[in-house]
Amino acid sequence: MAKKKNEEVMMPAAPAKEQPITETLEKNYMPYAMSVIVSRAIPEIDGLKPSHRKLLYTMYTMGLLGGKLTKSANVVGQTMKLNPHGDQAIYATMVRLTDGNETLLLPLVESKGNFGKQYSRDMAYAASRYTEVKLAPVCNEFFSDINKNTVKFVDNYDGQLKEPTLLPVAFPNILVNPNLGIAVGMASNICSFNLAEVCEATIAYMKDPKADIIELMPAPDFPHSGCIIYDREQMREIYETGRGSFKLRAKYSYDKKNNCIEISQIPYSTTVEVIIEKLMELIKANKIKEISDVRDETDKKGFKLTIDLKRRIDPEALMLKLFKLTPLEDSFSCNFNVLINSVPKVMGVKGILGEWVSFRMDCIKRGLQFDIERKHKRPHLLTGLKKILLDIDKAVSIIRHTELEEDVVPNLMVGFDIDKEQAEYIADIKLRSLNREYILNRTADIEKLISEIDEANRILSSDREVKKIIAKQLREISKKYAKPRATELISEEEAGVYEESATVEDYPVTVFITRDGYLKKVTSQSLRSTTSEHKLKEDDEIVQEIETTNKSELLFFSDKSTVYKTKLYDLPDGKVAAMGEYMPAIFQLPDGEKLIYAAITADFSGFMLFCFENGKIARVPLSAYETKTNRKKLIGAYSDKSPVVSMYCLKEEAEFAAFTDNNKALVFSSEKIPEKTTKSTQGVQVMKLTKKGAKVVRVIPAKKCELGDLGHFRTKNIPAAGSFLRKDDLQLSLF
């Protein structure tokens, strides 16, 4: 029996039942995804995520609206009754809402203590036991009439408390404060707008849904100010679709006395640490040579990033360069994704305003209905009270002579011809209040209450009247809390365009290029003063010597029909006695690829000649290699249909001599070759190859070939077969 029992214990478990992946996703992953979308990451029409709403409502119930500051830890602890995601998550949410953190354009929480800064990644906020908070005055507009059934309430996670599904915000907070959320498969990124502008735009929209609201709120506004490079049509597209991006730029000033740039505001989408790291990276890479030091000098007075300059540097030209190369100019990508009745929707500004107006109208109507229901009973009760005014003594007598308490109400109903509710109300009045003055004062409110009920019913039945109330509230809110626009708008013309060469010193240089790919850039002054010979690798030799300037651009053509580009000023000045820069390593050439020719140009004027073995020559304008995006590598730089034997960069027309492997030569002028705009063109036939298997082996400038009689080999028209080399010229042939 024991053995059998052990055998039963050791029996293998039944194989797990297979489940289709689609079913697994539907049962396990989809509920999680929907929970993140609906209950965490995407804001609703009141401009709040659930975590924000739970925190603010908890602070409201704690009496922190207009009260004294309390420890943040106290608020965090109380909020956990509604939000069970842990104290650190709750406190991090609170930090973002405070005026100390400077994340929101209109902070919702007043704070005392260190709450870090939005523009700093490393400036940590203090622990919750050290900081203090209370609700900002603007939160009066979040909780007005919340006790009048203006919004729905639901049970909290354990069913012990009630919490609102939305807050009855009296202004479009969804547009006034920025909101970023990343859900599963979707995200939301809503920029902030100026409160006064939003209120005016909302009023205009309620009057005319077709109103051009971009006239009233031209662009977003951010707490860190800075500048927006303003493109009206680009902004209009964002307003209409809810998607798009715009550029933010830092604000700076130049301190001439200390020769430094002081940056006082940076784009909302970046941090000071990211900017400094990028600056240091560029300085180490030798891409920024104008800066001697970078310091974060942020203090109690506010943000300041100081950049010390070297002597004789133009600060404006440098800033244009920094705007291009660093996050001092950054893009803000808009994605106006909002939950509407638990359904995520990407909407333009008008769509959001339309949904908010509908939501706010519903809040006001619910509040009016609550007032009507509450006030409706009051006139009826007071009418019963008015009846006893005719004979107060009778009422006292009925109560006094009734033996049983339960008979008081029925006896009053019979004695004064009133209903049960009226009798209950009279019976509950204190004995001291059963006097003529009290009753007259109470019954005088009957007509006023009836008038208020009629007015409420009139407003309730008219959407136009409800919108008037919303407009009135918006004007009052704008007057109380609005601040002048902080973010400056500048046009693309005012912003300026970075020209890389503007910050580079220009001076004459001579470039030496060797057969093995080494390059030396030597200044004229260094060249004149040196007595040294060129230092070269063993068996290497100089194949090109070009006089140019430091601002020129270098084009290196390889044997794989590729051209590599770089600015000469990106290469360090060298000396004759140095080996120079190894260009294949700088360009990171693949194995087996070699650099065969270098062209240097300052303005991409002139043209390239590509001479091929098959006797064809291609003439391509140098401007074909100019790119707006400053690309470093261009493939298809010339045709690969036939091997290239020579290439030349020319500013003006010149004569060339072509030689074949069967001792023929042809002298021709480059002006005879038509220009092609396509880089990979095969060119035109210049030298006819009459012998089968013959090929062109060399093309050199005619003035360097030293042929005895150039006229003998010169042709007026192309293509031409050329002439055989004469006895005196055979030494020029390769064969």
Mean pLDDT of 167-177: 96
What is the pLDDT at residue 265? 93
Mean pLDDT of 411-439: 74
Q: Looking at the domain covering 48-168, what would its CATH class be?
A: alpha beta
More confident residue, 445 or 651: 651
Average pLDDT, the chain: 87
Q: By the 8 A CB rule, do 596 and 559 touch? A: yes
Q: By the 8 A CB rule, do 387 and 417 touch? A: yes
Where along the chain do its domains lie? 48-168, 251-327, 354-481, 501-732
Mean pLDDT of 23-50: 84
Go through 413-451 and write b for each residue having 16 or more CB atoms within 10 A of its CB, e for each that does not: bebbebeeebbbbbbeeeeeebeeeebeebbeebeebee
Q: By the 8 A CB rule, do 246 and 238 touch? A: yes
Structure tokens at 566: 């770089």
pLDDT per residue as tens digits for the range 350-376: 999 999 999 999 999 999 999 888 877
What is the pLDDT at residue 6? 47
Question: Listing from the earlier edge strand, what are the strands of the sheet with 70-71?
Answer: 70-71, 132-135, 109-112
What is the pLDDT at residue 138? 96
Concatenated DSSP letters for 387-443? Answer: HHGGGHHHHHHHHHH-SSGGGHHHHHHHHHT--HHHHHHHHTS-GGG-SHHHHHHHH
What is the pLDDT at residue 11? 56
pLDDT per residue as tens digits for the range 683-727: 999 999 888 889 999 899 988 887 777 888 888 888 888 888 877
pLDDT per residue as tens digits for the range 552-610: 999 999 999 999 999 888 888 888 888 889 999 989 899 889 999 999 998 899 999 99
What is the pLDDT at residue 273? 94
Longest CA–CA span in the chain (Å) reads 155
What is the pLDDT at residue 723? 85
* CA-to-CA dists, residue 691 to 615, 660, 716, angstroms: 12, 10, 22
Is pLDDT above 80 for 15?
Answer: no
Report the candidate in 181, 157, 51, 151 with the shortest Cα–Cα distance to residue 59: 51
What is the pLDDT at residue 496? 82
Which position among 130, 230, 638, 648 bears the catalytic label? 130
Q: Please give the backbone phi and psi of residue 211, each rounded to the nearest 5 degrees, phi first.
A: -60, 145
Question: Beta-carbon neighbour count of residue 586 at 10 Å?
Answer: 16
pLDDT per residue as tens digits for the range 136-157: 999 999 999 999 999 999 999 8
Give the 3-state secondary structure of residue 164.
strand
Rg (CA), the chain: 42
Sign of CA dihedral 581, 583, 589, 592: negative
pLDDT per residue as tens digits for the range 370-419: 988 887 777 767 776 677 766 777 777 877 778 787 877 888 887 778 88
What is the pLDDT at residue 22? 79
d(CA 329, CA 275): 10
Mean pLDDT of 108-121: 94
Percent of the chain with pLDDT over 70: 93
Q: How far is CA 74 from the centre of its chain?
A: 35
Is pLDDT above 80 for 434?
Answer: no
d(CA 713, CA 726): 10
Find the helix or strand (DSSP H, E) in which 536 lies: none
What is the pLDDT at residue 501? 62
Q: By the 8 A CB rule, do 655 and 669 touch? A: yes
One-letter amino acid of 40? R
CATH 3.90.380.10 fits 251-327, yes or no: no
Question: Beta-carbon neighbour count of residue 219 at 10 Å?
Answer: 22
What is the pLDDT at residue 384? 66
What is the pLDDT at residue 10? 55
Q: By the 8 A CB rule, do 660 and 721 touch? A: no
Identify whether 625 is a catalytic site residue.
no
pLDDT per residue as tens digits for the range 459-469: 888 999 999 99
Q: Looking at the domain covering 354-481, what would its CATH class be?
A: mainly alpha
pLDDT per residue as tens digits for the range 76-101: 999 999 988 889 999 999 999 999 99
Structure tokens at 306: 């100081």
> Which of 19-33, 177-191, 330-344 has the least mean pLDDT?
19-33
CATH architecture of the domain with range 501-732: 6 Propeller (2.120)
pLDDT per residue as tens digits for the range 497-547: 777 666 677 889 999 999 999 999 998 888 888 778 888 888 889 999 999
